Structure 1
Amino acid sequence: MELRFIEINNLVLHEYTEKIRFQKLITKIEEEGVQKSPIIVTKIDNYYLVLDGAHRYTCLKALKYKYILCQIINSEEYYIDTWQHTISKDDYANHIQILLKNERFSKLDSEKDKDILQINTMNDENTPEPLESYIQFVDCLNKCNSFKRVHKNEYSKDSVKVIYPEVDEELIKLLVNKNRRIPAGISKVNLKCGRILGVSIPLQILNENTFHDIYIDKIMNNIRKYEETIYLYEGMIL
């Protein structure tokens, strides 16, 4: 397990953040004066990819802090999955349906007794730009105002279910190199390792590196690993 204060400009995102959540969190960070818990990142090429903590990272960057506390994990310690989403049939007709004229896209049949369309992007291995179809699909999806996360078995007769191709490190590299991002809430990072919680770093520490090693040592010498499953309440005070 590695903790490090990393220059904030060396971190990148592969998906957008949510504006309302960003606005609420940046106010909370300013009021509390701390960074709560490390950002989860992994090293890819010459940058660090934010796997968890995109909104905290975005807020601290907007506040012009130079460093951010990160927990660095390797490619064997996580995998990326996707959530399920729906869009309205109007958004489908206006922004997505035209893509089906491209042979790299496919539309699956409606499920039995369910008036729901399923869309899948098919990656053409013979194209000079692998996964370019995914980027094209994402650009259109970003125009859909009805974009909504749903549970696996949640259906609506007025919606179109969106099925995504696998999100992996190669796709992320392509997105980052092309300065593209997928919509907020599509990717879901699952950690195979533990994460450090309960740490609060004073914001002033993020603008200087004099005491970084001292803080890292203090954190690592005072963490406790729980073997059993822990449920963490993150709501308002009851």
Structure 2
Amino acid sequence: MTEQIALIDSCKLRLHEQYEIRRVDEVFQSLQNEKILKNPIIVVKMEFGLNYLILDGVHRFLSLTRLGYTQIPCQILEQKDFILQSWSHVVEYGDWVESLSDKVEKYNGAPESESEKIRIWVGNNHDHREIWATKFPPSSIHELVTEWNEITSLYINRYPLTRVEHPFVSMAGENKIIVQYPSLQFDEIIQLVREGCVLPPGVTRFIVHHKFENVNIRLSELDRSQFLEESSLQLK
């Protein structure tokens, strides 16, 4: 079967998470220099309207629109095509840690209990590590998003961070903090988007069973001027 990537109007694409300014600048510069989109934006059609939810590639999408493109190459998935998990953040130690004091407390519960809490590993130069957690489980999905945004706002776009799949306590060294976010259900994300809410950047992790990679779409193939209906782009 011939593989195709759909071209979707940018106005039909919805974000479920915020973005990192530094990463948008980096991707924008790369696209501007290379004039090649290596990987399409990964989306799933939403249950209401004609919109699509971006699962992966928000920085590529924003960079393309910044360059003036309205037709965005997308790989369209169904919900059965992916698994939703979460990323953990390994962040440099800084003054932002002091601002956590009113949001967290030393964690004494079992990891499998109160799984909706954010857990934070803190290390010091004596190789001793403590686990902190948010003080109270959120009472609603909106309270959870507010809590996540408050914590990530302390370090996103301010300190270098690395997203990791499976954090190890050993990663929490003298100058590193691990922030582990719990996973959400996909219908919770849809609910948030429907209500105009977005999650912090780099928290959700979508594992796609079959992802188009290294397709190398030339930007010259994308029309900047015409606002076309959904069409398709043949892979080379």
CA gap of 1:97–1:171, structure 2 versus 1, over 3 A, is: farther
Deviation track 1:14-55 (CA, whole Å, cap 9, x = no partner) reads: 223332332232233233334333211111233212122222
Q: Secondary structure at the match of 1:79?
A: strand
Contact (CA 8 Å) 1:83, 1:149: kept in 2 or not? no
RCO higher in structure (CA 8 A, sep ≥6): 2
CA gap of 1:119–1:85, structure 2 versus 1, over 3 A, is: farther
Aligned to 2:141: 130
| TM-superposed deviation, 1:78 | 0.8
**Could you tell me which amino acid in structure 1 is paired with residue 148 of structure 2?**
F
Aligned to 1:200: 217
Q: Secondary structure at the match of 2:172?
A: coil
| TM-superposed deviation, 1:107 | 6.4
Q: Aligned equivalents of 1:27 and 1:109: distance in 2?
A: 34
Aligned to 1:232: none
Q: Aligned equivalents of 2:135 and 2:186: distance in 1?
A: 17
Q: Secondary structure at the match of 1:118?
A: strand
Counterparts of 1:153-192 in structure 2, within 5 Å, are 153=168, 154-157=171-174, 159-176=176-193, 177-183=195-201, 185-192=202-209
Q: Secondary structure at the match of 2:141?
A: coil
CA gap of 1:147–1:105, structure 2 versus 1, over 3 A, is: farther
- Taking structure 2 as the reference length, the TM-score comes to 0.71
CA gap of 1:18–1:141, structure 2 versus 1, over 3 A, is: closer
Higher helix share: 1
| TM-superposed deviation, 1:93 | 2.7
Whether 1:81 and 2:99 are equivalent positions in the alignment is no
Contact (CA 8 Å) 1:83, 1:188: kept in 2 or not? yes
Contact (CA 8 Å) 2:38, 2:217: kept in 1 or not? yes
Deviation track 1:132-170 (CA, whole Å, cap 9, x = no partner) reads: 223223223212234622652212145543221213323
| TM-superposed deviation, 1:205 | 2.7
Q: Aligned equivalents of 1:115 and 1:142: distance in 2?
A: 24
**Could you tell me which amino acid in structure 2 is paired with residue 117 of structure 1?**
I
Contact (CA 8 Å) 1:37, 1:199: kept in 2 or not? yes
RMSD, matched Cα: 3.5
Contact (CA 8 Å) 2:119, 2:134: kept in 1 or not? yes
Aligned to 1:231: none
Select 2:98's aligned residue among 89, 93, 101: 93
Deviation track 1:107-136 (CA, whole Å, cap 9, x = no partner) reads: 68989x742323258655xx4x43522322
| TM-superposed deviation, 1:189 | 2.0
Aligned to 2:131: 117
Whether 1:25 and 2:12 are equivalent positions in the alignment is no
Deviation track 1:31-89 (CA, whole Å, cap 9, x = no partner) reads: 33343332111112332121222221011111222111111001111112222224537
Contact (CA 8 Å) 1:120, 1:162: kept in 2 or not? no
Deviation track 1:160-191 (CA, whole Å, cap 9, x = no partner) reads: 432212133233234433333313x3222211
Select 1:64's aligned residue among 60, 65, 68: 68
Aligned to 1:233: none
Structure 1 segments unaligned to the other structure (5+ residues)? 223-238
Q: Aligned equivalents of 1:78 and 1:71: distance in 2?
A: 12
Structure 2 segments unaligned to the other structure (5+ residues)? 106-113
CA gap of 1:30–1:132, structure 2 versus 1, over 3 A, is: same
Aligned to 1:53: 57
Contact (CA 8 Å) 2:103, 2:134: kept in 1 or not? no
